[in-house]
Structure 1
Amino acid sequence: MAGKNRMSGWLRRRTDSAPGSARQARDSRTDVPDPQRDALITAAVTAGFPVAPAAHPEGFGCSCDRIGCPVPGQHPVSMAWHSQASTDPERVAQWLAKEPLANFVTATGRDHDVLDVPAEAGRLALERLTADSATFGPVAAFGEDRLLFFTATRGTPVDEDEWWPCALDSLPETADERPGIRWHCRGSYVLLPPARLASGRGVEWLPGHGPDLPLPDPLPVLDVLTDACAQFGYEPEPEPMTWGR
C-alpha cells in the first residue's frame, strides 16, 4: 500500500456536552430484558462476531467498581475478555439472563476487523461504499462521533509469519492517541451494537448495514475512508507506510 493510507492530520473528536444526557441515560435504565436488543446481539453472534460481556452506564458513571472510570460502559467486564469472547448462542443467552443491562464488546482480529473513523469522513465515504457491492458491509454509528466499518480480518493468517502490522492498528488503550482512522485488529475490540453510552447516546447499526451482510475486504474500504478524510484537508504522510514486518 502507498503512503496515502496514512494520514498526517488527525480529525478531532467532538465533546458531547448535551445537558442532562447522563441523567437521561440513568433514568432510561430498566432491569428487564429488551427482546429486540437481545435479538440483535444474537444475530451478530450468529453472523460470527465473537462477543464478551461489557460494563454498562450506571447513573453518571460506570457499572464497574473503578472510581472515576474513564470509559464508562465501554470496556469488558473481565480482563480475560479475549479468551472469553464466544459465538456460542447458549453462552451469550446466559450472559444476557445474568446481566440484562450489560453492553457487549466484539473481539476483532479473529473473525472480523473494524475500521473506526470520524463520523464526518465516514458519512462522506458511505455513499461510495454502498454503491459498490465489494465494499458494502456492516456499518455502525458510535454516538455522533464515529462510524464503525466492519470488514473481513487480516489478523488470522494460516502462517503467523505472514501477519503484517499496520501503522493504523489501534488497541483500546491507544484510542485517544488515534483520533483519525483506527484499525481494530488483533488484541482489540469495539462495542457491539446495540450498546448504551454514558452520554445518553448509543452504538447502533445503520439502516441496511446490519451484521447479516457479508464482510468486505478491508483494503478497498480503507482506501475510500482515507480519501474521504483527505477531502477534509488532511493530507497523507509524505513518507510511504510500511506494511511488512
Structure 2
Amino acid sequence: MEETIAGPAAAHVPKQQGDSIAEAAVRYVEERHWDVFPGTWLDVADGTQHCSCGEPACPAPGAHPAHDDWAARATGSATVVRGLWSEQPTASILLPAGRTFDVIDVPETAGFLALARMKRMEVAFGPVILTPDRRMQFFVLPGAAAKVPDLLQSLGWAASSLDLVTLGEGTYVAAPPTRYGARGPVQWACRPTPENRWLPDAEELVPTLAYACGRDR
C-alpha cells in the first residue's frame, strides 16, 4: 500500500492500494512518461534492516543508486522496467531529474506553507514529494536548475541565504513507495493526477517557495 499525504483526488500513479513496487514503477513510466531505474533495497538481518549496498552507515538505506552508471540505466520502457524489477522486486524506485522534470527541494515546513499560499493564490503546481528527511520536492519543467539562481536574485534573495535546492541533470529523486530504511517511506504530498500532468515552470513557483523559505529561516 502506497502511503500518501492529503492531496488531489483520483490519483492514477500509483494507485492508493494494491500496487507493488514494480507496478508503481511501471505506472510512472506509462502514465507520466518518467524514466525510472531500480536502486538499492533493504535486507533484513537479525531483525534489523540494512541497505543492500553493505555500507553500515549508509546515509540513504534502500534508496540510492546501486550502480555508478545509473543515468544510463534509466529507462522509459515499461517492458524493460518489468524485467528489471523481476530481478529484484523490492528495489527502490529512483527517477532521474533533468529529463522530463527538474525538482525544487525545500524544508518540509516551508513546503507546506508554500502549498497553502499556492492554493489560496490559485497557482497551479505539479506533483510534490515528502521525504522521510522532512524535505518537500516540487516537480517543475526541466531547465529549472539553470534558471533558479537568477530568479532568486531578481526577487532580491541570495541563493546562499535560502535552504532551497534545485535538482537537475545528474541528480535523482526517490519515488513512493520507496523506503529510507527505518526512517520511513517516501510519500506524495500532492500525488500525480491527470490535472497536474502539465508541469509548471520554475518561474511560477519560485516566488512563493522563496518567500516560504525566507519565513522558515
Q: Percent identity?
A: 28
- 8 Å contact from structure 2 (residues 162, 213) kept in 1: no
Query: 2:192 corresponds to which residue?
Result: 210
TM-aligned CA deviation for residue 66 of structure 1: 3.4
Q: Quote the offset at 1:202 in angstroms.
A: 0.6
- Structure 2: any 5+ residue segments left out of the alignment? 1-17, 151-159
Task: Give the aligned CA root-mean-square deviation in angstroms.
Answer: 2.7
SS for the counterpart of 1:199 is helix
State the distance in 1 between where 2:67 and 2:143 align.
Answer: 25
| Stretch deviating more after TM superposition (82-91 or 38-47) | 38-47
Q: Does 1:182 align with 2:184?
A: no
Cα offsets for 1:50-100 (capped at 9, x unmatched): 111111233342111335323212211111111111111011111121111
- Describe the shift of the 1:211–1:197 C-alpha distance in structure 2 as closer, same or farther (beyond 3 A): farther
Gapped regions of structure 1 (runs ≥ 5)? 1-33, 156-162, 169-176, 235-245
Contact 2:147 2:202 in 1 (8 A): no
Structure 1 position 199, deviation (Å) = 2.3
Aligned to 1:197: 180
> Which residue does 1:55 correspond to in 2?
40
Equivalent position amino acid for 2:37 in 1: A
Q: Offset at 1:123?
A: 0.5
Amino acid corresponding to residue 86 of structure 1 in structure 2: T
Q: How do 1:12-31 and structure 2 match up within 5 A?
A: none
Would you tell me which structure has more helix in proportion to its own residues?
2
Q: Distance in 2 between matches of 1:88 and 1:64?
A: 26
Query: Does structure 1 retain, via aligned residues, the 8 Å contact 2:132–2:184?
Result: yes
Q: SS at the partner of 1:70?
A: coil
Kindly report which structure 2 residues correspond to 1:39-188, keeping only aligned pairs within 5 A, or say none: 39-46=23-30, 47-58=32-43, 59-131=48-120, 135-143=124-132, 145-154=134-143, 164=146, 167=149, 180-188=163-171
The answer to whether the 8 Å contact 2:130/2:186 transfers is yes
Residues 57/150 of structure 1: CA separation in 2 closer, same or farther (3 Å cut) = same
